[in-house]
Chain A
Amino acid sequence: MTQLALVIDLNVCVGCHACVTNCKQWNTSGAAGSLSDLDPYGADPNGTFFNRVQTFEVGEYPQTETVHFPKSCLHCEDPPCVPVCPTGASYKRKSDGIVLVDYDKCIGCKYCSWACPYGVRELDEKRQVMTKCTLCVDRIYDQSLPPERRQPSCVLACPPGARLFGDVHDPQSAVSVAIRERGGYALMPEAATRPSNHYLPRKKTTLNLRDEALYRSDNPQRIDGAPFEPNLPPIAEEL
């Protein structure tokens, strides 16, 4: 069974909103559109987005870190938004696990958005139907595109490559490897929704190198021409 999903690397995301912009551009122009904007240039701009990048500050000054946090539908394996829908407009595809809304069936009752704990469904104010991320279902299978372009718009747009896309049920896929080897985790595990999208944690990059090691002749990081320091312990004792 295939389960397509995104893996988002919080260690790489710089909060540029390129994924938001490209998502909106693709989806407002395509089969999932239009994504309406209300008062876009006024004092109270408002609109429909499938993907939002939020920013959090972790810690207390001066020990703070800024975390940019992109958020869209997580295409849960046990999606609580699907069984509550009275019309069947919300459904999860068997073939690839994408959770979709049929805009022709949706009555705009908003019940599905109550059931989702993540706040990623948005009722379009003009069309009055429920909308959400489709994983760009209208381009990832498009045979007229070269294979490397058959990816969600947000993934293609991301300048530092913080977004991976693939099948999380295939243990060899790049997304599965990233989740496995880099501590990928799911949001709100207590909600028992089993999200398919995963996040890779922030990490501190530190150099594990002691001063004396800089002088060892076999050290690839040896500083050429550094003066010998007689006070350093003998290398044999180290080993």
Chain B
Amino acid sequence: MHPALSVLLLTTLIGAGQGLFIALFVSELLAAGTLSPSFFVGGSALVVVFCILGLIASFFHLGHPERAWRAAAMWRSSWLSREVIALPAFMGVAALYGLAHWSGATYTLALGVLGTLLSIVLFVCTAMIYAAVKVLKEWAHPLTVVNFTLLGCASGACLATSYAVFAAPALVVPLSQAAFSLIALSLVTRGAALLRNATLKPASTLQSALGIRHPHIVQKSQGAMGGSFNTREFFHGKSPSFVRGVLTLLLFGGFVLPLILVLTAPALAFVVHYGGLLAERWYFFAEAQHPQNLYYQTVS
């Protein structure tokens, strides 16, 4: 699949925002008395800003962004529709959570519970957009949901750690320990998905695509001289060495370096981890082999 920058940015930015919200809520749960309200107000503002940036990026993915409101219609069947509803709901509760802390309200924990639930719902919706595409075997697996959730939580914990360096130094150590554990856990689950996808046998073959039983079939023409939507949308168009480079980048940027940085230089942890996550999302698309590609082997 072709990795579209708008989707890479959307999923990583809102993932960081959702993870940060969960980190804020857990901090309040465990260390409420020792923290000033400004830590939560600033944190919630960060959550909302990240989600807005993701939302802006997502509009660049649409052919008709002015009709985006229509996307909430089919929530009974479409995970994309469910995401379109869950995202603003989460953003709204995150904003209310910040306001409640700012005004000194007593129901902040209740909002925190609601926001955390919505954050998890949103992780599931986003991941299911991909996991529900049955023809993409690389995506249609529970690990997709696990990875979107864990990588988002790890990203949010890194963001919380970097933020705490400036806003709540007392929290840096516990938050960095949480981030370390989440990155390590996500390394295990994402690693499992990488291994699974590397050895995956495609369900469809050129033989089943054409209904012709012969071991040797070559495409001579795909019916288009200069490519088509089908050659643009479903191929990443990069060399194998480029793809291997991204894999190295995601392993170091998304896991190895952040594991070291959260403990040694927490202020830098989030930026590096976020770069690694962009590489991870690029690879997520590139490693998915769409069966339609069988019909589009030879441009002529």
**Cα–Cα distance between A182 and B216 once the two chains are bound (Å):** 24
**Cα–Cα distance between A86 and B207 once the two chains are bound (Å):** 33
Digitize A12-29: 1 where CB-to-B-CB distance is under 8 Å, 0 elsewhere. Answer: 000001001000000000
Flag the segment in A59-67, A146-154, A169-177 that touches B. Answer: A59-67
Nearest chain B residue, comparing its CB with the CB of A103: B64
Nearest chain B residue, comparing its CB with the CB of A17: B223
Digitize B100-133: 1 where CB-to-A-CB distance is under 8 Å, 0 elsewhere. Answer: 0000000000000000000000000000010011
Distance of A203 from chain B, by nearest CB (Å): 12
Is there an interface contact between A84 and B217, defined as CB atoms closer than 8 Å? Answer: no
Is there an interface contact between B64 and A188, defined as CB atoms closer than 8 Å? Answer: no
Flag the segment in B11-19, B74-82, B181-189 that touches A. Answer: B74-82
Is there an interface contact between A113 and B233, defined as CB atoms closer than 8 Å? Answer: yes
> B233 to chain A: which residues have CB within 8 Å?
110, 113, 123
Query: Given A123-B229, A188-B209, are A57 and B220 also a contact pair (CB < 8 Å)?
Result: yes
Chain B residues 190-220 with CB under 8 Å of chain A are 203-204, 206, 208-212, 214, 216-220
Nearest chain B residue, comparing its CB with the CB of A192: B134
Q: Is B221 an interface residue (CB 8 A)?
A: yes
**Cα–Cα distance between A148 and B61 once the two chains are bound (Å):** 44
Is there an interface contact between B221 and A87, defined as CB atoms closer than 8 Å? Answer: no
Is there an interface contact between B216 and A46, defined as CB atoms closer than 8 Å? Answer: no
Flag the segment in B65-73, B150-158, B172-180 that touches A. Answer: B65-73
Query: Given A110-B233, A115-B133, A199-B211, are A52 and B223 also a contact pair (CB < 8 Å)?
Result: yes
Chain A residues 54-98 with CB under 8 Å of chain B are 54-60, 66-67, 69, 71, 80, 83-89
Distance of B3 from chain A, by nearest CB (Å): 13
Which one of A46, A60, A111 lies within 8 Å of B228 (CB-CB)? A46
> B211 to chain A: which residues have CB within 8 Å?
185-187, 199, 201
Is there an interface contact between B291 and A191, defined as CB atoms closer than 8 Å? Answer: yes
Is there an interface contact between B230 and A107, defined as CB atoms closer than 8 Å? Answer: no
Is there an interface contact between B212 and A114, defined as CB atoms closer than 8 Å? Answer: no
Is there an interface contact between B226 and A59, defined as CB atoms closer than 8 Å? Answer: no
Digitize A98-109: 1 where CB-to-B-CB distance is under 8 Å, 0 elsewhere. Answer: 000000011111
Q: Is A39 an interface residue (CB 8 A)?
A: yes
Which one of A39, A115, A190 lies within 8 Å of B208 (CB-CB)? A190
> B240 to chain A: which residues have CB within 8 Å?
none
Is there an interface contact between A69 and B67, defined as CB atoms closer than 8 Å? Answer: no
> B62 to chain A: which residues have CB within 8 Å?
107-109
Q: Is B26 an interface residue (CB 8 A)?
A: no
**Cα–Cα distance between A192 and B140 once the two chains are bound (Å):** 15
> A199 to chain B: which residues have CB within 8 Å?
211
Distance of B165 from chain A, by nearest CB (Å): 38
Is there an interface contact between A46 and B227, defined as CB atoms closer than 8 Å? Answer: yes
> A128 to chain B: which residues have CB within 8 Å?
63-64
Which one of A106, A119, A121, A129 lies within 8 Å of B296 (CB-CB)? A119
Is there an interface contact between A84 and B295, defined as CB atoms closer than 8 Å? Answer: no
Distance of B220 from chain A, by nearest CB (Å): 4
Is there an interface contact between A129 and B135, defined as CB atoms closer than 8 Å? Answer: no
Is there an interface contact between B63 and A108, defined as CB atoms closer than 8 Å? Answer: yes
Digitize B220-257: 1 where CB-to-A-CB distance is under 8 Å, 0 elsewhere. Answer: 11111111111001100000000000000000000000
> B84 to chain A: which residues have CB within 8 Å?
86
> B1 to chain A: which residues have CB within 8 Å?
114
> A66 to chain B: which residues have CB within 8 Å?
220
Distance of B140 from chain A, by nearest CB (Å): 11
> A46 to chain B: which residues have CB within 8 Å?
224, 226-228
Which one of B74, B204, B295 lies within 8 Å of A87 (CB-CB)? B74
Query: Given A107-B68, A117-B292, are A84 and B78 also a contact pair (CB < 8 Å)?
Result: yes
> A186 to chain B: which residues have CB within 8 Å?
211
Is there an interface contact between B80 and A109, defined as CB atoms closer than 8 Å? Answer: yes
> B134 to chain A: which residues have CB within 8 Å?
80, 115, 191-192
**Cα–Cα distance between A58 and B214 once the two chains are bound (Å):** 7
Query: Given A86-B71, A122-B228, A185-B211, are A53 and B216 also a contact pair (CB < 8 Å)?
Result: no
Q: List chain B positions with a Cβ less than 8 A from chain A.
A: 1, 61-65, 67-68, 70-74, 77-81, 84, 129, 132-136, 203-204, 206, 208-212, 214, 216-230, 233-234, 290-293, 295-296
Closest 4 CB pairs of A and B: A108-B63, A128-B63, A119-B292, A52-B223
| A–B complex contacts, Cβ < 8 Å, 8 sampled | A54-B219, A57-B219, A60-B216, A87-B67, A88-B74, A115-B133, A119-B293, A187-B209
